[in-house]
Amino acid sequence: MALLRACDEEGEDLPFSILLEVVREALPSCGALVEELEARYGHFPPRVALAKMSGDPSWRRALEMAAEAYLPELLEG
């Protein structure tokens, strides 16, 4: 969910790899996951990276769960 929040706040202003660094700093316990995401998707713009993640069976469910949790927060804001 932190990744979705960072993408929403920064939009296309920053590359996905920079947003991943923000998440790594905010959530050091997720370092291994961030490294995997950076290797697979870091070179894409955020919207492309998220689209590719949604098509990847290893990330699809996690992204769906994060989106379901983030949507109410986004609508309240």
Q: What is the pLDDT of residue 60?
A: 93
Of 72 and 44, more confident: 44
Are residues 47 and 14 in contact, defined by beta-carbon separation less than 8 angstroms?
A: no
Number of domains in the chain: 1
Q: Which of 12, 62, 14, 13 is nearest to 37 (CA)?
A: 62
List, for residues 14-39, the tens digit of each pLDDT value.
789 998 988 889 889 989 999 999 99
pLDDT above 70 for 62: yes
**For residue 26, which amino acid is it?**
A
List, for residues 34-61, the tens digit of each pLDDT value.
999 999 999 998 888 989 999 999 999 9
This model's pTM is above 0.85: no
20 lies in which domain range? 2-76
